[in-house]
Structure 1
Amino acid sequence: MSRIDRAGRVIAAPPAAVYDALLDRESLEAWLPPDGMRGRIEWWDPRPGGGFRMVLTYLDPADSPGKTSDATDVVDVEFADLVPPERVVQRAVFEADDPSYAGTMTLTWHLAAAGDGTEVTVTATDVPPGIDQAVHEAGIASSLANLASYVERAG
């Protein structure tokens, strides 16, 4: 059975605003990189079957060597399914020589109205074994905190 990593939180913004932040290039560059990283999108095609390529750079690579180079993780992401404003399904492949990072990881972002906000749950399946589960779940939680700050500030 493949490993499943999860994280979630309630964001004080409506589902449509959260969904929009998942499909806006500048928004993703701002909030998706977890703490200790910055991101740059190299290409962008926000439609089912489209996707993006993101270069994530570690601010201090000494503690977190990258998957692609000493200081970077490069990931190609396909938008496998888009259901506004309820769900975004992404298929992510890391550019890496190490086979422990090989394979396609699926990330499903579920958005559900929760009072005046949105409950966001991220489920990652088929996570490459080279990615430490605790570190990955902390990274997803960090991205969700960044997303909350981003959309709550904009709203």
Structure 2
Amino acid sequence: MSRTDRASRVIAAPPDRVFAALVDPDALIAWLPPAGMSAKFERFDARPGGSYRMVLTYADASPASGKTTADSDIVEARFLDIVPGVRVVQAVNFVADDPDYASTMTMTWAVTATDDGTRVDIRADDVPAGISEEDHAAGLASSLANLAAHVER
């Protein structure tokens, strides 16, 4: 059964700055990894039909094991749609032997101007069964907090 997870946050920054952080590899490395993780890109091409490969590494792998190795998750993603200033849609796959993690999740990041800055809405469709709702909610909230800290400077 497919699952959809959502998260949102209003960020005190203009929409153009927030959107730019969704498609810039240096910005993504700075804010996308949830707390306790770091990231690097092995490739990155932000355009519809483009893709990226990101390695997420746990600072301390002992409390949780990674999906790809004991201390890492490798993400293969394709950009399905990029509407400048509006949304980024990606098909995301974790490189994993466990089929509970290996399915394709569609991530949509949407930005909307508000009186207080920019509302960022994340919708994750077809979340792999191995990702708990609690862990995913915490990870999405952490990434949004990191994004806010990154663009509100």
Give the alignment's TM-score, normalised by structure 2: 0.98
CA distance in 2: counterparts of 1:73 and 1:11, whole angstroms: 27
* Corresponding residue for residue 57 of structure 1: 57
1:40-78 deviation per Cα after TM superposition (whole angstroms, max 9, x unaligned): 011010110102111000001001100000000000111
- Please, which runs of 5 or more residues in structure 2 have no aligned partner? none
Matches within 5 A, 1:138-153: 138-153=138-153
Question: CA contact under 8 A between 2:10 and 2:116: conserved in structure 1?
Answer: no
Aligned sequence identity (%)? 58
Q: What SS does the corresponding residue of 2:127 show, helix, strand or coil?
A: coil
1:2-24 deviation per Cα after TM superposition (whole angstroms, max 9, x unaligned): 20111110001111111100010
Q: What SS does the corresponding residue of 2:76 show, helix, strand or coil?
A: strand
The count of aligned residue pairs is: 153
1:74-126 deviation per Cα after TM superposition (whole angstroms, max 9, x unaligned): 00111110011011101100000111112110000111111140000101000
Q: What SS does the corresponding residue of 1:99 show, helix, strand or coil?
A: coil
Could you list the structure 1 runs, at least 4 aligned residues long, displaced by more than 3 angstroms after superposition. none
Q: What SS does the corresponding residue of 1:61 show, helix, strand or coil?
A: coil
* Corresponding residue for residue 36 of structure 1: 36
Matches within 5 A, 1:2-151: 2-151=2-151
Question: CA contact under 8 A between 2:107 and 2:125: conserved in structure 1?
Answer: yes
- Please, which runs of 5 or more residues in structure 1 have no aligned partner? none
Aligned residue identity for 1:49: G
CA distance in 2: counterparts of 1:25 and 1:38, whole angstroms: 13
CA drift of 1:130 comes to: 0.5
Aligned residue identity for 1:40: K
CA distance in 1: counterparts of 2:144 and 2:79, whole angstroms: 19
Aligned residue identity for 2:54: M
Q: CA RMSD in A?
A: 0.8
1:127-149 deviation per Cα after TM superposition (whole angstroms, max 9, x unaligned): 11001111011101100000000
